Amino acid sequence: MTEFSLASYANKPLAECTELELFNALLSLTKDAAAEKGYNQGKKRLYYISAEFLIGKLLSNNLINLGLYDQVRAELAEAGRDLAELEEFENEPSLGNGGLGRLAACFLDSCATLGLPASGVGLAYHCGLFRQSFDKNKQYESPDYWLRWGQESWMRRTPKHYTVNFGNLSVTSTMYQIDVTGYHSQCDTLNLFDVDTVDERVIKNRINFDKSQVAKNLTLFLYPDDSDEAGRILRVYQEYFMVSNAAQLMLDECVERGSNLHDLADYAAVQINDTHPTMVIPELIRLLGERGIGFDEAVQIVRDTCAYTNHTILAEALECWPLSFIERVAPQLVPIIQQLDAFVRGQYEDDFVQVIDQWQNVHMANIDIHFSHSVNGVAALHTKILEDSELAPFYKIYPEKFNNKTNGITFRRWMVECNPGLNKLVSGKIGEGWKTDAEQLEQLLPLADDPAFLAQLDQVKRTNKQTFAAWLAAHQGTVVDPDSVFDVQSKRLHEYKRQQLNLLWAIRKYQRLQMLEADELPKHKVTVIFGAKAAPAYTIAKDIIHAIICLGKVIEADPVASKYLQVVMIENYNVTAAQHLIPAADISEQISLASKEASGTSNMKFMLNGAITLGTMDGANVEIAELVGEDNIYTFGDSSDEVIARYKRGDYNPRSYYEKDEELAAAVDFLTSDAMLAQGDATNLNRLHDELLNKDWFMTFPDFADYCATKAQVLKDYEDREAWQRKALVNISKAGYFSSDRTIAQYEKDIWHLR
């Protein structure tokens, strides 16, 4: 193996290099090291098609995976340079909204690590998810140009081009490639498609740009929707562009590997990541037809090749495109979709399972379910809800297709990289094996009775809190107290995730603090930390952000309350911020309305980093609770069955809760108090107040009292530091199940069969 020395990649002494020069040198070194490792290869290959790959910064991740991290850091230190300075310098590719995109990135890491030949296929967005800034306590959005500064990029341009036809417009694509390094393994690749005609000058600001010229706009932006579908036609263009490239690439590569296309399923497995890549099904049927394969056989080949993952039951996120959109974007698919529709109509009468409904809307998930061989949910509860209610008519037809694959995260990024202190403590005790065999973390369990070890764990957390406080001060000038309890809720802003429930708790806490006598005041200050972006068009979500920031200001201005409570909103929360924040968290807020969060993945990251979950029995929280036992998690609120039943009855009335619970009423009304109005905007605060009181679609009021009581218990238990660290230790020990290596091994065994 080559000895990689950074000095040989720079044309002057490292001490004299600019950050840009050092970064470019590191990039070249990493690329060479990856190339030397080589790529996972085999007869059958996975094509993981996804509109999002939220890969985050790659420098340290790649150095760790390639086994070069310590050596490079030492070489830099010798020259008086700091790797942290370059980590800061790197731009984050935010090519995803949240969990769905980050999951795709973790999956590629695990595929590479497990030696599975895999390609991610997606789009090379010029601008990632918008940058968020706060002004007048409100969110503002600006374009995220992540490729800048004449800086070298992780993406390399390849000579691969495909023609994609949109009705009377035809474009030529270019494929870019990013190496996906696995942990001490060979690499896989992420293939991102772009067109050269995209013109960044059409951007006026984040939400106002000239959308008329498709060729100029096609890959300009990632859609800033998380579980909310904006329903714009440009999105359909993006989707067709993505899948047409994916299908052409895959057929080419399979033929190169020896496929005669009749046996395509022996050469390729396609995983359809939510419904965004659904058109790959009719596109493959079309392309197989062009290559001489009849319709019925093509349908069977495609079914044997494709598998579909569902990530949400939120009705508004289930894609449903007017056939007229598809007629405009990809008219060549229309006869195929109509044939698929006719095929389904011939077999099943139920309207629910039809491909095209009576209003000529195409139900993308229905195509996926009929014409793929596997349908999976992303946590046990989610899959059960799909089978029993959301997709029950399909489950009746195809019980054999349904399966669960509980999500996972890569421990390389979410512990080794982001929490070096914990990594060292853990590896010092049980060795390094857990990094590729995560269940080995269970070897830590006996240390639950070792006070010295628990004290060390406490020390690691304390250091992480200090490091985070320093980062936050530098990042946005906000000062937090590392001696306070860090109570964290970080995820996209959505009503179903219920940041508003946490907000109401903070208001109530503030109101109680004002009433307490000096001798009743709490021992530890609580710092409630939010990180969240709201989709630019999602009004109520933005109102919630506004209310959180305003409340933070109200409390800050109160000389007594501010000693015991602080409310902070992190600006521009992204993967980088998450890597600073999660290792510092004491409490992990996972408080979605039961049944609505398909899985969640930050819950797993917090657990692995020793935070204790305060959550509803939703998504993967249910599995966390089973693993750690009731002493090591705090659960509250209505069950998914109760919630589903209440929706069915349709009799939920938030006012009845408001009228019965004085404290709840006082907290809700505080939103429009003089104190809040002095900080904020009446329009926004009134709208949020009225929305909660009259609608509260995600049922915060029924769970409010239980949430407050449970959180009081959490804060009380925090006072016994040793008992708390014991809970943290159990959480870390039991996190092994949530390694994405386990998830990927299950996809491989049950669905892909690459080996």
Q: Which residues bind ligand TH1 (CB under 6 A)?
A: 97-100, 103, 225-227, 274, 311-312, 317, 378, 407, 597-601, 619
Smaller CB separation from ligand TH1, 312 or 679: 312
Residue from 605, 711, 726, 734 carrying the catalytic annotation: 605
- The three-state secondary structure class of 121 is strand
Smaller CB separation from ligand TH1, 225 or 283: 225
Task: Tell the smallest beta-carbon distance from residue 270 to ligand TH1 (Å).
Answer: 18
To the nearest 10°, report the CA torsion of 26, 30, 31, 34. Answer: 180
Q: Of 699, 599, 604, 713, give the one whose Cα is nearest residue 646.
A: 699
Which residues partner with 307 through β-bridges? 271
Task: Tell the smallest beta-carbon distance from residue 226 to ligand TH1 (Å).
Answer: 5
Task: Tell the smallest beta-carbon distance from residue 458 to ligand TH1 (Å).
Answer: 30
Q: Of 46, 76, 49, 47, give the one whose Cα is nearest residue 60.
A: 76
Task: Tell the smallest beta-carbon distance from residue 402 to ligand TH1 (Å).
Answer: 16
Task: Tell the smallest beta-carbon distance from residue 749 to ligand TH1 (Å).
Answer: 19
Task: Tell the smallest beta-carbon distance from residue 225 to ligand TH1 (Å).
Answer: 5
Place of tokens 């949430």: 707
Is residue 478 among the annotated active site residues? Answer: no
Is residue 278 among the annotated active site residues? Answer: no
User: What is the DSSP track for 76-141?
Assistant: HHHTT--HHHHHHHSPP---SSSHHHHHHHHHHHHHHHTT--EEEEEE--SEEEEEEEEETTEEEE
Q: What CA–CA distance (Å, rounded) separates 714 from 615?
A: 11
Task: Tell the smallest beta-carbon distance from residue 464 to ligand TH1 (Å).
Answer: 24
Is residue 204 among the annotated active site residues? Answer: no
Smaller CB separation from ligand TH1, 90 or 274: 274
Task: Tell the smallest beta-carbon distance from residue 510 to ligand TH1 (Å).
Answer: 30
Radius of gyration of the chain (CA): 26
Q: Which two tokens stand for residue 294?
A: 């009849």
Smaller CB separation from ligand TH1, 179 or 623: 623
Task: Tell the smallest beta-carbon distance from residue 274 to ligand TH1 (Å).
Answer: 5
DSSP state of 184: T
Residue from 57, 73, 131, 492 carrying the catalytic annotation: 492
Is residue 605 among the annotated active site residues? Answer: yes
Smaller CB separation from ligand TH1, 37 or 497: 497
- The three-state secondary structure class of 535 is coil
Cβ(195)–Cβ(174) below 8 Å: yes
Which residues partner with 588 through β-bridges? 488, 613
Smaller CB separation from ligand TH1, 312 or 725: 312
Residue from 363, 491, 509, 580 carrying the catalytic annotation: 491
DSSP state of 90: S
Smaller CB separation from ligand TH1, 453 or 738: 738
Distance of CA 515 to the CA centre of its chain: 40
Which residues partner with 171 through β-bridges? 164
Parallel/antiparallel/unpaired status of strands 169-180 and 156-157: antiparallel
Q: How far is CA 252 from CA 43, 178, 257, 292, in A?
A: 13, 19, 9, 15
Smaller CB separation from ligand TH1, 235 or 727: 235
Q: What CA–CA distance (Å, rounded) separates 154 from 671?
A: 46
Q: What CA–CA distance (Å, rounded) separates 581 from 583?
A: 6
Q: Of 594, 469, 456, 463, give the one whose Cα is nearest residue 527.
A: 469
Residue from 102, 126, 405, 497 carrying the catalytic annotation: 497
Q: Which two tokens stand for residue 213?
A: 């010229």
Is residue 563 among the annotated active site residues? Answer: no
Total number of residues shown for the chain: 755
Q: What CA–CA distance (Å, rounded) separates 415 from 658?
A: 43
Q: Of 274, 710, 700, 223, give the one whose Cα is nearest residue 495.
A: 700
Residue from 126, 311, 405, 546 carrying the catalytic annotation: 311
Phi, psi of 419 (to 5 degrees): -135, 70
Residue from 113, 219, 601, 700 carrying the catalytic annotation: 601
**What is the separation, in whole angstroms, between the first and last Cα of the chain?**
27
DSSP state of 752: I
Smaller CB separation from ligand TH1, 179 or 228: 228
Task: Tell the smallest beta-carbon distance from residue 312 to ligand TH1 (Å).
Answer: 4
Smaller CB separation from ligand TH1, 226 or 741: 226
Phi, psi of 517 (to 5 degrees): -80, 160
Residue nearest to ligand TH1 (CB): 99
User: What is the DSSP track for 606-651?
Assistant: HHHTTPEEEE-S-TTHHHHHHHH-GGG-EE-S--HHHHHHHHHHT-
Q: Of 678, 692, 491, give the one whose Cα is nearest residue 597.
A: 491
Q: Of 465, 415, 327, 374, give the one whose Cα is nearest residue 732.
A: 415
Is residue 373 among the annotated active site residues? Answer: no
Task: Tell the smallest beta-carbon distance from residue 592 to ligand TH1 (Å).
Answer: 8
Q: Which two tokens stand for residue 231?
A: 């329903």
- Please calculate the CA angle 463-468-470 and round it to the nearest 5 degrees: 95
Smaller CB separation from ligand TH1, 51 or 68: 51
Q: Give the orientation angle of helix 539-556 with respect to helix 499-515, to 10 degrees.
A: 20
Catalytic positions:
311, 491-492, 497, 601, 605
